[in-house]
Amino acid sequence: MNEVTITKEQLDAVLEIANNGLFTANNTWMLMATAMVFVMHLGFSALEAGFVRQKNVVNILFKNAMIISIGLLTYYMIGFNLMYPGFEEDASQKFIAFAGAFLDPGADYTPAAYAEGAYTYWTDFIFQAMFAATAATIVSGAVAERVKVGSFLIFATLLVAISYPITGSWKWGGGWLDGMGFYDFAGSTLVHACGGAAALAMAVLIGPRKGKYTAEGIKPIPGHSMPLAAIGVFLLWFGWYGFNGGSVLSADPELVSFVFTTTSLAAAAGAIGAFISSTISFKNLDLSMVLNGMLAGLVGITAGADVIAPHFAIIVGFIAGAIIPLSVVMFDKLRIDDPVGATSVHLVCGIWGTLAVGIFGKGDFSILTQLIGTLSIIGFTLAFSFLFGFLIKATIGLRVTEEGEEKGLDISEHGMHAYSM
Amino acid sequence: MNEVTITKEQLDAVLEIANNGLFTANNTWMLMATAMVFVMHLGFSALEAGFVRQKNVVNILFKNAMIISIGLLTYYMIGFNLMYPGFEEDASQKFIAFAGAFLDPGADYTPAAYAEGAYTYWTDFIFQAMFAATAATIVSGAVAERVKVGSFLIFATLLVAISYPITGSWKWGGGWLDGMGFYDFAGSTLVHACGGAAALAMAVLIGPRKGKYTAEGIKPIPGHSMPLAAIGVFLLWFGWYGFNGGSVLSADPELVSFVFTTTSLAAAAGAIGAFISSTISFKNLDLSMVLNGMLAGLVGITAGADVIAPHFAIIVGFIAGAIIPLSVVMFDKLRIDDPVGATSVHLVCGIWGTLAVGIFGKGDFSILTQLIGTLSIIGFTLAFSFLFGFLIKATIGLRVTEEGEEKGLDISEHGMHAYSM
Amino acid sequence: MNEVTITKEQLDAVLEIANNGLFTANNTWMLMATAMVFVMHLGFSALEAGFVRQKNVVNILFKNAMIISIGLLTYYMIGFNLMYPGFEEDASQKFIAFAGAFLDPGADYTPAAYAEGAYTYWTDFIFQAMFAATAATIVSGAVAERVKVGSFLIFATLLVAISYPITGSWKWGGGWLDGMGFYDFAGSTLVHACGGAAALAMAVLIGPRKGKYTAEGIKPIPGHSMPLAAIGVFLLWFGWYGFNGGSVLSADPELVSFVFTTTSLAAAAGAIGAFISSTISFKNLDLSMVLNGMLAGLVGITAGADVIAPHFAIIVGFIAGAIIPLSVVMFDKLRIDDPVGATSVHLVCGIWGTLAVGIFGKGDFSILTQLIGTLSIIGFTLAFSFLFGFLIKATIGLRVTEEGEEKGLDISEHGMHAYSM
């Protein structure tokens, strides 16, 4: 007798609450992930500040504070609609398209109109905007201690507003690389190798720091604060839970927790890999190598964090970490001066991580396609960076004066000291 | 044949699970927001520590560690019930009421008895308690490098336990300002201008640091560590996602994600505003201005983060940031010495943000009502602060001895150094 | 006429969405808690780095970077299956069991197969793995400034891979202490007193730092950076919301918010307790005592954060904080040198917190059972640590050379400086 006849309204009401609960949980996770990716900007700031000399600390902090700000604003203005342009279904190339400047605040962004149950329009925008700004940040470490502030900011703006969204659209915007089966879960290539390629181009164009490569050999220039660098790396690891975990694009329990596991194990294995590799190579227990090894492991697992089993994630991370000391030595031999090792961590391990999907990924992945994808995006970014880097160099110049570099950029560019101790 | 007759028990069971999922998602977000607002206390500690001289670093850290602790405990004892007193419906004034000391641990705080689906009683308390403690923290920067520890702690206790909850009750407790349509989403006035007004009163009462304003002019006293200040500002930005995002008081996907977007864009625009304004004013690339500009943008958008469209959020943040260099110069001309710029960031931009709701807010907002609201709360806080600040000054004194100030408060008040390097 | 007949498929579909929403909210919280516990590793790194001398900073950071990495990997390899072995129901002892090496990536870890609605298999693993690594980190502070890197890492590996999971299994794995009614919500004993006991054993075995205890008395050796220590403690407090809040093992709104409240109030009361106690004892306003007092309050409430009422949580935290200065003096009188006070914070207050459940806990708790539980686990850990610590000492040695200690471990063990200023 306690049977009830349910009305359509009742059924719909229950269904709406149930859908709303799931939608809210998904969206909340995506926003937490956004906040954690924001923390990566603090992580990069602290890491880069720790790895440069005391006389250039204000400068690197200034650049990082400006990049996140410029990055968010330009992504709002053009980046988002360039990266997610809604390619025409029949476009044969899907190489570049643009959905128009600015977000349209009058548009119908209600969940019903926009999302398919996982997050809102605003969540989509702000999560992707945080991502975009990281690519530019990677460059700042590589050109540290000698780049003109204004020139760097112009280049970073172009990279984050134009180059990154275009190459990003090829995969995440549904472009031609997506069509051919290229896989890059959270951006080993789309974010890290992209930022790393730009870093490489700019490091080559600007040349090494004064006194780095001399007739007597390569002079190590130690960073001014290892605690700052360590804080930076730990915060980057923390933020990576949002970077990789948020790339699930929902709070799917199985998938997000799997990604947390592979991400954690790869970072840990990266530290061990770098520890072993650097201890063999350099015969000392090198903290900066272990820290960069963690980052290497994180960059390495980023492309396949959702499709690589935990035991393979350990292998991917370990190899990424082990590569770091060798890669740092290689770039030094090539006389490409990168004060924080950004090229080794983000470009080299970004390529490795992208290829690793073809080797260890559970699913239908081709190492050749992975190679095509990573080379295409790196190639475009290198070309873009060399072109605009060269134009900047030829006009307003990339590099501070020799005297300014000697004094330090804090005084020559900013007129202030990082510390008064 | 697979049609089923659903029983009332079955329907209720499904409904309970659905409701519980949504409730859990909402409550989880509010607790994450609480934890993020906690991080703001670390942000303030690092920022203020970075902006003072090396000889006063232990002192500022000590004050900040004590404030969060005193703040949470006094809010438990009286603040919460003073701020949310449950004003009588027919109370003509709704100016002050008190629901009794302490939380009542025997009361029925089960979700069914307390919340309306968004969070529990305990979540309500601890989220609001974290907020309360921030108001007192704002003061500590303005009186840094010369205030007696004991005197400051007495003042901070009175502010957080009595003054802040009373003015807070006028709006968030359902008091007279709420009744007249005043709007302050997350506290541009209720938290920031309130803390900023107390900071102003105390900075006036205590007088400038020795040697700041001399016959030869205004002497800049640079902070001792820019990396510490930068870490502080980035952590404050991170915490602000909880501060503004949590002020939605649920995890409503549309609203929280909108708030994340406006908050991010305003912070970014604040940095750019301060960058342009300070570069024009001072002809150098001033990192501390850009950092304070970020905070200015955040304070500015706080009152209307849920009702100001993204493109207007950029304008609000930009203006807030651009104001900072001018405001800092103005206070210096008035010989009001504020080592960290707390008055400019929290009071001036708090007022601006509150008025901005009347200008840009989508909805039925009146700039006059906004003005009345912000002036009322600032007026009360100034009166309260001058009264109790004066009483403390007249009895136990506000300021350390001249010799103590010279030596630094770390030695004179704490007998220890911040660094042994 | 808008009555509908619901099919079994429709009912199941609604039910699945509802269940999925709740499951997703629960799992998301557990993952956020995991990320926050990860931040505790940064907190420990910064705290310990701040409390040691400048010449040993690289060393302590190196150890902490390695511990989290080794901890995660060994927990993957053996720890998890040793701590949650699935004791036989009829096992009379439930003292030790092992479910086999490595996670089994081929197993069916789908939510349906594994969890009972709160989280996935991977969440379970990674949350517990983060916990495990904290126990080893506690040791590194106590033996700082004189331990050989290699020897420490071997000991830490044994502790986190074998000792911690065995004692942990006695309660959380459903072992004999669980069977007799011992209660330790989030690990006052299982994590903190365990880590503290290992720290004590190792501090005794390795002996005090050169010059600490002399004929003229006890020489204070101040840490090199109070800002670093303060950042560490605030980050630990933040991370503790995940540590205690995550120990609910779901996002249960009532319970998690209650735990947030007791955790916050105990930490605040711990600061006040240490402030009063140290001001009476030492006649100065000691920042390091207030910071350790916060941690003491946190450790103290950890065993009963879910069953101790807020007003009692304040008492528990206050007493924990008040104990700290006395405990630090006591260990110094015993000539047990612990540079960061880890034994006082984690062992002494871990015991106090465990007993406090028997005094203040709402429910059926016995102080005698609590005492048996904490002494058993401390006893086992001490025996394990003395045994393996002694074996390491007798073979490869625990301590760096006198010359290495004099120079500092940064140079003698790592060949680099923490700062170039």
Facing residue for B271 by CB, picked from A69, A105, A130 = A69
What average pLDDT score do residues A131-153 get? Answer: 95
Q: Which one of A15, A17, A234 would you mutate to disrupt binding with C, by most C Cβ within 10 Å of its Cβ? A: A234
Q: Which residues in C lie closer than 8 A to residue B61 (C-beta atoms)?
A: 226-227, 230, 287
State what percent of residues in chain A have pLDDT above 70: 94
Residue of C nearest to A33 (CA): C32
Residue of A nearest to C16 (CA): A18
Mean pLDDT of chain C: 93
Q: What is the pLDDT of residue C110?
A: 61
Give one DSSP letter per residue of B98-147, joined into a string: ---SS--TTS---HHHH-SSS--HHHHHHHHHHHHHHHHHHHHHHTTTTB
Task: Give tens-digit pLDDT for A361-375.
Answer: 999 999 999 999 999
Cβ contact, residue pair A287, C414, below 8 Å? yes
DSSP A54: G
Cβ contact, residue pair C65, A311, below 8 Å? no
Main-chain dihedrals φ then ψ at residue C362, nearest 5 degrees: -85, 110
- How far, CA to CA in Å, does A340 sit from each of A147, A266, A300, A346, C93? 14, 21, 18, 11, 54
Neighbouring C-beta atoms of residue C247, cutoff 10 Å: 24
Contact C116, C55 (CB under 8 A): no
Contact B267, B299 (CB under 8 A): no
Q: Which residues in C lie closer than 8 A to residue A261 (C-beta atoms)?
A: 122, 125-126
Q: Has residue C309 got a pLDDT over 50?
A: yes
| Residue B45 at interface with chain C, using a CB cutoff of 8 Å | yes
| CATH superfamily of the A9-85+113-414 domain | Ammonium transporter AmtB like domains (1.10.3430.10)
Question: Which residues have CB under 8 Å from C215's CB, separation 6+?
Answer: none
Q: Has residue C68 got a pLDDT over 80?
A: yes
Q: What is the pLDDT of residue B4?
A: 63
Q: What is the pLDDT of residue B98?
A: 76
Q: Which residues in C lie closer than 8 A to residue A54 (C-beta atoms)?
A: 420-421
Facing residue for A122 by CB, picked from B32, B222, B258 = B258
Give one DSSP letter per residue of B190-236, joined into a string: IIIIHHHHHHHHHHHHH-PPTTSEETTEEPP---SBHHHHHHHHHHH
Q: Which one of C55, C221, C234 would you mutate to disrupt binding with B, by most B Cβ within 10 Å of its Cβ? A: C234
Q: What is the pLDDT of residue C84?
A: 87
Q: Which residues in B lie closer than 8 A to residue C35 (C-beta atoms)?
A: none
Burial bucket for residue A89 (CB in 10 Å: 0-12, 13-18, 19+): exposed
Q: What is the pLDDT of residue C421?
A: 82
HSE (side-chain half, CA atoms, 13 Å) at A91: 15
Residue of A nearest to B258 (CA): A122
Measure the CA–CA gap between C219 and B202, rounded to whole angstroms.
40
Kindly report the nearest CA distance between residue A400 and chain C, in angstroms: 22
Q: Which residues in C lie closer than 8 A to residue B70 (C-beta atoms)?
A: 268, 272
Element holding C150 (H helix, E strand): helix C149-158
- Hey, which residues does B419 pair with through a beta bridge? C225
Question: Which residues have CB under 8 Å from C118's CB, separation 6+?
Answer: C23, C26, C27, C30, C249, C250
Q: Has residue C112 got a pLDDT over 60?
A: no
Q: Which residues in C lie closer than 8 A to residue B413 (C-beta atoms)?
A: 285
Q: Which residues in A lie closer than 8 A to residue B30 (C-beta atoms)?
A: none
DSSP C190: I
Which residues 195-254 of A have a C-beta within 8 angstroms of C? 222-227, 230-231, 233-235, 237-238, 241-242, 245, 251-254
**What is the CATH architecture of C8-414?**
Orthogonal Bundle (1.10)
- How far, CA to CA in Å, does C214 sit from each of C146, C210, C220? 17, 9, 11
Q: Can you state the angle between helices C226-246 and B57-74, rounded to 10 degrees?
A: 30
Q: Is C352 helix (H, G, I), strand (E, B) or coil?
A: helix
Please report which residue ranges of C215-286 form alpha helices under DSSP H.
226-246, 253-282
Task: Give tens-digit pLDDT for A178-192.
Answer: 999 999 999 999 999
Element holding C217 (H helix, E strand): strand C217-218
C-alpha C190, offset from chain centre: 8
Cβ contact, residue pair C7, B10, below 8 Å? no
Single-letter residue type at C41: H
Q: Which residue has the tokens 């990003």?
A: A168
Residue C100: pLDDT band (50, 70, 90) is confident
> Could you give the ipTM of this predicted complex?
0.96
Cβ contact, residue pair B58, C294, below 8 Å? no
Structure tokens at B383: 């009166």
Q: What is the pLDDT of residue A116?
A: 61
Q: C140-170 burial, b for 16+ CB within 10 Å, e for fewer?
A: bbbbbbbbbbebbbbbbbbbbbbbbbbbbbb
Residue of C nearest to A309 (CA): C105
Give the lowest-confidence range in A125-134, B81-90, C1-10, C241-250. C1-10
| Residue B11 at interface with chain A, using a CB cutoff of 8 Å | yes
DSSP A225: B
Neighbouring C-beta atoms of residue B363, cutoff 10 Å: 10
What average pLDDT score do residues A292-300 get? Answer: 98
Q: Which one of B11, B20, B28 would you mutate to disrupt binding with C, by most C Cβ within 10 Å of its Cβ? A: B28
Which residues 340-399 of A have a C-beta within 8 angstroms of B? none
Q: Has residue C215 got a pLDDT over 50?
A: yes
| Residue B107 at interface with chain A, using a CB cutoff of 8 Å | no
- How far, CA to CA in Å, does A83 sit from each of A162, A194, A232, B265? 9, 14, 29, 19
| Residue B284 at interface with chain A, using a CB cutoff of 8 Å | yes
Measure the CA–CA gap between A238 and A236, rounded to whole angstroms.
5
Domain boundaries, chain A: 9-85+113-414
Facing residue for A234 by CB, picked from C20, C21, C42 = C42
Q: Which residues in C lie closer than 8 A to residue B414 (C-beta atoms)?
A: 284-287
Cβ contact, residue pair C268, B22, below 8 Å? no
State what percent of residues in chain A have pLDDT above 90: 84
Facing residue for B260 by CB, picked from A34, A46, A109 = A34
Contact C398, C205 (CB under 8 A): yes
Q: What is the pLDDT of residue C61?
A: 98
Task: Name which of C129, C123, C100 is nearest C110 in CA terms.
Answer: C123
Contact B44, B236 (CB under 8 A): yes
- How far, CA to CA in Å, does B167 sit from each of B121, B185, B193, B376, C5? 22, 15, 11, 9, 55
Q: What is the pLDDT of residue C1?
A: 41
Q: Has residue C2 got a pLDDT over 50?
A: yes
Cβ contact, residue pair A257, C57, below 8 Å? no
Identify the chains in contact with B, defined as 3+ C-beta pairs within 8 A.
A, C
| Residue A7 at interface with chain B, using a CB cutoff of 8 Å | no
Contact C126, C103 (CB under 8 A): no
Q: Which residues in B lie closer than 8 A to residue A70 (C-beta atoms)?
A: 268, 272
Q: What is the pLDDT of residue C109?
A: 62
Q: Are strands A213-214 and A217-218 parallel, antiparallel or unpaired?
A: antiparallel
Cβ contact, residue pair C23, A253, below 8 Å? yes
Kindly report the nearest CA distance between residue A25 and chain B, in angstroms: 5
| Residue B260 at interface with chain A, using a CB cutoff of 8 Å | yes
Facing residue for B126 by CB, picked from C19, C260, C291 = C260
Q: Which residue has the tokens 């205890």?
A: C213
| Residue B282 at interface with chain C, using a CB cutoff of 8 Å | no
Question: Which residues have CB under 8 Å from B276's CB, separation 6+?
Answer: B322
Measure the CA–CA gap between A413 and A400, rounded to whole angstroms.
8
Q: Which residues in B lie closer than 8 A to residue A125 (C-beta atoms)?
A: 261
Q: Which residues in B lie closer than 8 A to residue A57 (C-beta atoms)?
A: 226-227
Q: Is C3 helix (H, G, I), strand (E, B) or coil?
A: strand
Q: Which residue has the tokens 């302050």?
A: B184
Residue C41: pLDDT band (50, 70, 90) is very high
Measure the CA–CA gap between A265 and B235, rounded to whole angstroms.
27
Single-letter residue type at C311: H
| Residue A294 at interface with chain C, using a CB cutoff of 8 Å | yes
C-alpha C174, offset from chain centre: 20
Task: Give tens-digit pLDDT for C118-153.
Answer: 899 999 999 999 999 899 899 999 999 999 999 999
Single-letter residue type at A258: F
Q: What is the pLDDT of residue C325?
A: 96
Residue C328: pLDDT band (50, 70, 90) is very high
Q: What is the pLDDT of residue B165?
A: 96
Measure the CA–CA gap between A388 and B389, rounded to whole angstroms.
58
Task: Give tens-digit pLDDT for C354-389.
Answer: 999 999 999 999 999 999 999 999 999 999 999 999
Residue of B nearest to C291 (CA): B65
Assign residue A91 a region (left: φ > 0; alpha: ψ between -120 and 50; beta: otherwise): beta
Contact C142, C338 (CB under 8 A): yes
Domain B8-89+98-414 fold is Ammonium transporter fold (1.10.3430)
Q: Which residues in A lie closer than 8 A to residue C45 (C-beta atoms)?
A: 230-231, 234
Question: Which residues have CB under 8 Å from C113's CB, separation 6+?
Answer: none
Q: What is the pLDDT of residue B138?
A: 95
- How far, CA to CA in Å, does C58 sit from each of B75, C48, C62, C144, C383? 41, 11, 6, 11, 30
Measure the CA–CA gap between C203 and C335, rounded to whole angstroms.
10
Structure tokens at A346: 């983000």
Kindly report the nearest CA distance between residue C38 and chain A, in angstroms: 7
Full-model pTM: 0.97
Digits of tens for pLDDT over chain B (421 positions)? 456 667 777 788 888 888 899 999 999 999 999 999 999 999 999 999 999 999 999 999 999 999 999 999 999 999 998 998 877 765 656 777 777 777 665 565 655 555 566 899 999 999 999 999 899 899 999 999 999 999 999 999 999 999 999 999 999 999 999 999 999 999 999 999 999 999 999 999 999 999 999 999 999 999 999 999 999 999 999 999 999 999 999 999 999 999 999 999 999 999 999 999 999 998 889 999 999 999 999 999 999 999 999 999 999 999 999 999 999 999 999 999 999 999 999 999 999 999 999 999 999 999 999 999 999 999 999 999 999 999 999 999 999 999 999 999 999 999 999 999 8
Residue of B nearest to C292 (CA): B65
Task: Give tens-digit pLDDT for C186-209.
Answer: 999 999 999 999 999 999 999 999
Q: B312-349 burial, b for 16+ CB within 10 Å, e for fewer?
A: bbbbbbbbbbbbbbebbeebbeeebbbbbbbbbbbbbb
Cβ contact, residue pair A120, B419, below 8 Å? no
Measure the CA–CA gap between A226 and C184, rounded to whole angstroms.
37
Neighbouring C-beta atoms of residue A150, cutoff 10 Å: 13
